[in-house]
Structure 1
Amino acid sequence: MKYLHDNAKAFYFKGNNIGCLLIHGFTGSPAEMKLLGEFLHKQGCTVNGVLLKGHGTKVEDMEQTTWKDWLSSAEVELIDLKHKCDKVVVIGLSMGGIIALNLAERFNIDAVVSIAAPIKITNRKVYFARVIKYFKKYILKPEKKFDEDVKDYCISYDRTPVALIPHLLKLIRITKRRFKKVKAPILIIQSKNDKTVRYESAEYILKKVGSQFKKLVYLKESGHVVTLDLEREKVFTEIKKFLVEINLLKF
């Protein structure tokens, strides 16, 4: 199998009995979660960076998948991590955040971190994708501008298959209906400068989940992929702080 880049492959860092499952976004790859994974491993955690089915190789591979495949990819890795670790935290970016919340509804996990999870999407055309797909196969993605030192982590498809957008929307719909079943402590991170996901998405999640311990952190300068953007160190620090607050990590 040919990958877009070595960093597009799944990764695993063995550490202590606290496991962190990291889930990337729609059309993305584990690369966008790898710096966070390295940070958490330095804190002692065991880290599993999931590669969702159809991602990280070529866009034609993704076109052969559905939302069930993406969810199943993460579910299999979660079950494996639960067998290896006493405590498990699920952390997802964008669609990965939706998948993380879905897993938190159905599995007994110790914490969940939702980063830029899309409840409300800025581009309203996505809601007409069922029609648009008959006229347009792909939507080209605008080039992302990140610091030079993270360019090898900005690994994703350069286009979005329009026919798969309804699958993303269905995954969101199915998951949000059962937010009250999310009981694990939750950290929600969202940038107000996100041009992909409307920042009100974070407030919706905060209001609807059934967790007793829930926390929302807003960013101001980052775009959508906050794990690689200007405030990535703040993102990492806030996640560590959250895990300390719920007694999974120590300073």
Structure 2
Amino acid sequence: MIKDVSFFLPGINNSGVLLIHGLTGTPNEMRILAKGLHKAGFTVYAMQLAGHCGDEQDLCQTNWQQWYESVTEAAEFLQKQVDHFFVAGLSMGALLSLKLAAEKPEWVHGVAAYGPTFRYDGWSMPKYAKHLFFLLTWFERLGIFQDKTFIEQPPYGLKDVSIRAAVSASMLDGDSASAGLAGNPYPALAQMQYLAKNLRQQLNRVTAPCLIMHSSHDDVADIETNARVIEKNVSGPTQFIALDDSYHLITIDRQRKEVIQQSVTFFQNIVNGHFPKQESINE
């Protein structure tokens, strides 16, 4: 049975942020960011994607359309309660955030994409895996290797050693509700590839301002082939921030305070009518 670990924090400034975790992840990877946004006055809803926070079978019984449907349901709930609605996601959650902005421009006033991931091509990914991901959709169509799982390896998206130890311990102990799954099932990875392909065709429909934050040393997803794709293809204004002391999970890694600060400022600027200019910032 899947445990519901989503959480809701009511704010005071009539602005809300929907937070979306990544593939095989959990709302807990957005908790530190959620608390920071809430402290700044925002209403925050850290949702749980369909099929997540259970076991691999639970995840593989869902597809990317169901993940996105759970996003739209959460967004509809939150946007009715606030005057300014924002959406932010980590890794695959960033893709889902952008898709919502593309399809519901009347809802979304701004998007924050943290470590957006179209492909797994970071420095820690083995060469065979980089090529394997391209074949995952073919495996799915042919019905082969559907019982296989790509097991995550150190550093698990975390440069901070102490946080890495805590997260990996929970993950490897099977506490998927707290730390997510230890591996990525091939069927789920194939579904993510379908989502990525779908979003690429919609990026030019994103007109809301976008904050893009990505580690220049991302171990999972290379900044140039992932984050820059968004910067180059969305139609709205972008603010690009490259972090230099984090790995993939920037919402909980060493520069988590920077992520909070930049996000709060970005959302507040939109509320105040100061849309961010087209710019690129390298930390």
TM-score, normalised to structure 2, is: 0.81
Is 1:46–2:66 an aligned residue pair? no
Q: Which runs of 5+ in 1 are unaligned?
A: none
C-alpha deviation, 1:2, in angstroms: 5.1
For the aligned residue pairs, the C-alpha RMSD in angstroms reads: 2.2
Specify the code of the residue in structure 2 equivalent to 1:55. H
Q: Which residue of 2 aligns with 1:18?
A: 15
Structure 1 residues 105, 166: closer, same or farther in 2, change over 3 A? Answer: same
Structure 1 residues 248, 43: closer, same or farther in 2, change over 3 A? Answer: farther
Structure 1 residues 110, 131: closer, same or farther in 2, change over 3 A? Answer: same
Partner SS, residue 240 of structure 2:
strand
Partner SS, residue 112 of structure 2:
strand
1:220-248 CA distances to partner (integer Å, 9 max, x unpaired)? Answer: 12111111111111111111121233235
Is 1:66–2:66 an aligned residue pair? no
| Correspondences of 1:1-251 after superposition (within 5 Å) | 1=1, 3=3, 9-16=5-12, 17-107=14-104, 108=106, 109-122=108-121, 123-129=130-136, 130-131=138-139, 134-135=144-145, 137-143=148-154, 144=156, 146-148=160-162, 151=166, 155-200=179-224, 201-211=226-236, 213-247=237-271
The answer (yes or no) to whether the contact 2:163–2:253 under 8 Å persists in 1 is no
Partner SS, residue 271 of structure 2:
coil
Structure 1 residues 206, 27: closer, same or farther in 2, change over 3 A? Answer: same
The answer (yes or no) to whether the contact 1:243–1:249 under 8 Å persists in 2 is no
The answer (yes or no) to whether the contact 1:18–1:248 under 8 Å persists in 2 is no
The answer (yes or no) to whether the contact 1:222–1:229 under 8 Å persists in 2 is yes
Q: Which runs of 5+ in 2 are unaligned?
A: 122-129, 171-177, 275-283
Partner SS, residue 169 of structure 1:
helix
1:124-160 CA distances to partner (integer Å, 9 max, x unpaired)? Answer: 3211123397246111111435454683697110011
Specify the code of the residue in structure 2 equivalent to 1:244. Q
Q: Percent identity?
A: 28
Distance 1:192 1:158 in 2: 24
